[in-house]
Chain A
Amino acid sequence: MEAYADHPARHRVRWLARFALLWAVGIGARLLFLQAFSHEEFRDLARQQQTKLRQLAAPRGSIFDRAGRILALSVPVETVIVNPLQLPDRPLAAQLLARTLEIDEAKLRDRLETYANARKGYMVVDKGVSVEKADRLRQLGVDWIGFESNGVRRYPDGALAAHVLGGVDHQARGNAGIERHFEDDLGGYPGYEWVVSDVQRRSFDSSIEKAPQAGRDVVLTIDRRIQYAADEAIREAVASSMADSGTAVALDPNTGEILALSNYPTYDPNEVPKSTADYVARKNLAATDPFEPGSIFKVFGLAAALETTDIRPDTVLHCGNGTINVGGHIIGEAHGGFAYLTVEEIIAKSSNVGAVKIALKTGDKNLHDYLLRFGFNQTTGVEMPSESQGLIFRLKRWQPGSIGSVAIGHEVLTTSLQLARGLAAIANNGFLIRPHLTRARPLGEVTLRNVVYQPEQNEQPRRILRPETAMTLRKVMESVVLTGTGKGIRLDGYSCGGKTGTAKLFDKTIGKYVSRYNASFMGFAPVTNPAVVVVVTLNGTRQYGATAAGPAFKQITQTALRVLNVPQDLTDPAPAAEPVPERIVADVAVTSTPLKTPEAMQQEMEAEQGPATAIAVGPKLPNFVGKTARAVLDEAMQAGIRVDIEGSGIARVQDPPAGGRLASGQHVKVRFQP
């Protein structure tokens, strides 16, 4: 038995040992492959199935008026979520949640079943839940309810300044007005967290990938009290003049600060638009809807004449007894006809023939130049989306009769905002200012940190008129309210000047101008050193400019002067309003058939300038497809692009595609799939 030294059995045991060792070496090689060489691949696979990227909402910035009064703010609300796979008793859970949240129990129960059957571990029960209700659920102390806090946008003053503020969409992103223009600043940057969850999607750990960055605040130049007066005035004016819509713009001619901007119909930005009418009401007419201004435009023609010809206010012109033929195009008066009128009287009485004669003396080129100087045919650059630049035809395209039409405010399209800017140059002794809506900081004691303000570079107001021209124009415009078409539009304690305008509306269905008007009044006060410029326009009324828009102008200007604390320059109260005969007020710009219909002009304008939509800006989009969520986020953060992430895994689809650009406030959607 001891003669075993090279017994075959020992030999076979050695073979067994070698075989086992070989097996172990194989296992070792496999371990090396898994843990050393392919470690990263498996780490990513593990992370992919264990972790989900969840967005953390950034608190949205607030919007204040010029005095620091709040106009828009985000109120914290909570989203209630459950894990349907984890519910101990689904019908009971549905009952509990439905009662507390006051939602439909049967529907909730169905949804819970559907989610549970689909093996989904994350279900939003209700959004926008008040903190109180969420706290009531929290007090139940059950572990299957989850909460996510986010904010809902609130506008405490309802419809006040609705078109300035704009509104937010269901994802709390600005979709109009200031909310849209400053979306990137107001919205802040959402944060992201990795949530680690088990196979049943219960999360047990999370790590912040990037903390949310709160949105910045915006301080508006709007004054809440003036805005209120404007909103009220324009609402009343639309009602009393039976107009379709109306706008009012009040601005400080020296700084360009917009004190109030009002449109009617208006809307409550707290509400979600439900009907077409709701969407129509959201249109910011003052900035986006150009129209034929009519007689108020004569002022700008006179400015050109004063600067380029020897015409002075006391120059006497023969007003053709009612008609004039310009290049085969007959232009008449609103009411009767005039023989000899001074230039001042032409403006005061709003003589069409007189205005055309002034324009003829000025000439096509000078008139065209000056209109451009006043900033027509270009956007004002106000901080609102989709601003229209109106239309002044290039000189080459003026026909022989064009000058007649332009002189009385036809064949041109302007927005209320452009008119206000033009008038501001007359009010501030000749400087073209940029109307704007934001301030670096609020007035008074209020201090706000983190305020958005983007002053234009090299914002030196450009001189476009000689000071004496501006002063002369103001004198002429004062006579409009003293003796002319605006007679009766007087302020308590303040002198004022202005110009009425009544442009016939063109009915495209019958192809003619009809007796419905775009009735406007634009004016300033006080005359010597105007503190405020107000433009009021009523669209679709049958009343003349002074009648329809005059009272609103008075109301808005009076409020603005009081709020701005402007010293009074008149001791007398305004004379009691007395009925003004229609023949005095009448100032309709009368042309026969139009050379260019407003519709045709709109089309040409859009053809030349492109439709008034959001302009794509921002960096070129990189290609995200095929990358992991982490890589996409890193890249997007570096490029300053916002990403909406859907699903998990590898990026499969992106919208807009690589190479495209984002419109302001737009996000890239990236869908991930494992």
Chain B
Amino acid sequence: MAQRLKTDWFLFWTVISLAFFGLVIIFSASLPKTELMHISQFYFMAKQAALIGVGVVCLMGLKRLDYRKLNRPEWAFGLMGVMLTMLVAVYFLDSHHHRWIRVPGFQLQPSELAKPALAIFLAWFVTRRISAINSRYTLGPAALVIGVLAVLVLAGDMGTMAVLMITVAAVFYVAGISPRYAAMALAALMVIGVVGIAAKPYRLRRVVHFVDPSYELLDKADASGRVKAWLENSMSTRDPNYQARQSVIAVGSGGLFGLGLMHGKQKMLYVPEAHTDFIYSVIGEELGLFGCAGVLTAFMVILWRGLRLFWMAPDDFGKYLALAVTVCFTVQALINISVVLDLGPTKGIPLPLISYGGTSMLSSLVSLGLLLSVSERAG
């Protein structure tokens, strides 16, 4: 039966507006950096615009595609397999950060692309085992796949790992996982998390600094000061909270209406990475409370339109696909904003749809393409 397609234009235009709004902010935020690098001031903006173009084509394509075609093991495992392979590859190719694969003119970040792949995998898996979600034959394989993914992502990108794992947790929570297994999963995740943090001193330092900025507790716990010395020597920058502190100054100095587009001053290299992970601080400084609230509201709109599909999608695969995509997208936005406002330790994840970064933009638009595909065929 030919179904009448109904595009969620509200969601669609919110997404497109955010992407183009991001372009403008990227232009403003990257000005000092382009000046420092002696390159065209449109360099970052132009690259981002090209990727938005590619991303929107993907989005339109996925929107047309019937998502139910993806409800097959070959897609679920195939995509996941490709992701895991790429993550293994990136571990060796990028020996320092384990994060980027250098392609000429472009840097691919597999952990970003893992998001839509994970969403499809979760949706397929949960739908398949919805009646036996608490069976060990369900959870065993799932834990295996997800555990491998977590460890591989963790190697390079703790923030993205957190986003992915929160998505997994949300999906299994909705699917009705028993508290017992939930607790076990949580414990496992925490072990992975603690190991991940401790493995990289800079992460540990960020966390310690966030919890205990003046090392008061640490001094009590570790009288010899050995841990402190190790932490102090482990990082090139003197102040691990520098980024967050500067970004809070930027946001605070924006006030209600901001200093005006292009008039931000904190982006003059006071806030490092102003055009990528900390772009929300530029919005705060230049557009003030209204700009910040507007962006936050836009993400909430996407959350609303996404979760709404859990009621409206015609099948379980659609419901869980929409849920996974929405949670993944929104959680990343909320975490990023929280970090910029110094509500959590620095992670290094971009603000979806707005931050400069090709893979992230592509991944976001692909995810939202899946969401739109579900919504076309909903209700």
Contact = CB atoms under 8 A, between A and B. Distances in A.
Interface of A: 1, 4, 8-10, 12-13, 16-17, 20-21, 23-24, 26-28, 30-32, 34-36, 38-39, 41-43, 45-47, 49-50, 196-200, 204
Size category, B interface: 35 or more
Of all A-B residue pairs in the complex, the 7 with the closest CB atoms, nearest first, are A42-B252, A198-B268, A46-B253, A35-B289, A39-B255, A199-B269, A34-B252
Contact of A27 (B254, B323, B337): B337
Contacts of B174: 9, 12-13, 16
Interface string B289-318: 100110010011001100100110000100
Nearest to B251: A34
Contacts of A12: 173-174, 176
Contacts of A23: 334, 338
A16 B327 contact: yes
Contacts of B176: 8-9, 12
Nearest to A47: B253
Contacts of A8: 176
B266 interface: yes
A196 B265 contact: yes
B346 to A, nearest CB: 16
Given A31-B251, A35-B288, A199-B268, A24 B307 contact: no
Nearest to B303: A20
A4 B268 CA distance: 54
Contact of B173 (A16, A35, A46): A16
B290 to A, nearest CB: 9
Contacts, number: 114
Most chain A CB within a 10 A radius of its CB, from B173, B265, B269: B265
Interface in B321-353: 323, 327, 330-331, 334, 337-338, 341, 343
Contacts of A196: 265
B12 interface: no
Given A36-B256, A42-B249, A43-B255, A30 B300 contact: no
B329 to A, nearest CB: 11
A35 B338 contact: no
Nearest to B319: A9
Contacts of A35: 251-252, 254-256, 284, 288-289, 292
A49 B252 CA distance: 14
Contacts of B284: 31, 34-35
A477 B337 CA distance: 98
Interface of B: 32, 170, 173-176, 248-256, 265-266, 268-270, 284, 288-289, 292-293, 296, 299-300, 303-304, 307, 310-311, 316, 323, 327, 330-331, 334, 337-338, 341, 343
Contact of A30 (B269, B323, B343): B343
Contacts of A197: 268
Given A34-B251, A43-B255, 6 more contacts: A12-B176, A16-B174, A27-B338, A46-B250, A46-B252, A50-B265
21 contacts: A9-B176, A12-B173, A17-B303, A28-B296, A30-B343, A31-B284, A31-B293, A31-B296, A31-B341, A32-B289, A34-B248, A34-B284, A35-B252, A36-B256, A39-B255, A42-B252, A45-B253, A46-B249, A47-B253, A197-B268, A198-B32
A556 B254 CA distance: 73
Contact of B252 (A1, A4, A10, A39): A39
A43 B284 CA distance: 12
A225 B293 CA distance: 78
Contacts of A45: 249, 252-253
Nearest to A50: B265
A599 B244 CA distance: 71
A86 to B, nearest CB: 10
B293 A28 contact: yes
Nearest to A17: B307
A593 to B, nearest CB: 77
A561 to B, nearest CB: 69
A204 B268 contact: yes
A574 to B, nearest CB: 79
Contact of B323 (A13, A41, A46, A50): A13
A1 B314 CA distance: 9
DSSP class of A's interface residues: helix, strand, loop or mixed?
A: helix
Contacts of A28: 293, 296
A46 B266 contact: yes
B186 to A, nearest CB: 16
B341 A27 contact: yes
Contact of B253 (A1, A39, A198, A199): A39
B82 to A, nearest CB: 29
Contact of A43 (B252, B310, B338, B341): B252
A27 to B, nearest CB: 5
A204 B270 CA distance: 14
A196 B330 CA distance: 37
B288 A24 contact: no
A329 B248 CA distance: 89
Contact of B269 (A13, A42, A43, A200): A200
A41 B249 CA distance: 9
B307 A13 contact: yes
A31 B250 contact: no
Contact of B296 (A4, A24, A42, A43): A24
A21 B300 CA distance: 8
Contacts of B289: 31-32, 35-36
Nearest to B173: A12
A46 B249 CA distance: 6
A27 B251 contact: no
Contacts of B265: 46, 50, 196
A484 to B, nearest CB: 83
Most chain A CB within a 10 A radius of its CB, from B289, B323, B327: B289
Contacts of A24: 296, 299-300, 334
B293 A198 contact: no
Contacts of B250: 46
Contacts of A32: 289
A45 B271 CA distance: 14
A200 B270 CA distance: 9
B81 to A, nearest CB: 29
A198 B269 contact: yes
Nearest to B331: A20
Contacts of A38: 252
Contacts of B307: 13, 16-17
Nearest to B248: A34
Given A23-B334, A27-B296, A34 B341 contact: yes
A88 to B, nearest CB: 11
Contacts of A1: 316
A198 B270 contact: yes
B270 A13 contact: no
Nearest to B343: A30
Nearest to B170: A16
B262 to A, nearest CB: 12
A376 B250 CA distance: 69
A32 B293 CA distance: 9
A611 to B, nearest CB: 52
B221 to A, nearest CB: 29
A206 to B, nearest CB: 13
Contacts of A49: 249, 270
A41 B331 CA distance: 30
A12 B319 CA distance: 13
B324 to A, nearest CB: 12
Contact of A9 (B175, B254, B343): B175
A371 to B, nearest CB: 71
A391 to B, nearest CB: 64
Contacts of A199: 268-270
A26 B343 CA distance: 10
A32 B269 CA distance: 25
A24 to B, nearest CB: 6
Nearest to B264: A46
A600 to B, nearest CB: 66
A27 B330 CA distance: 13
A36 B292 CA distance: 12
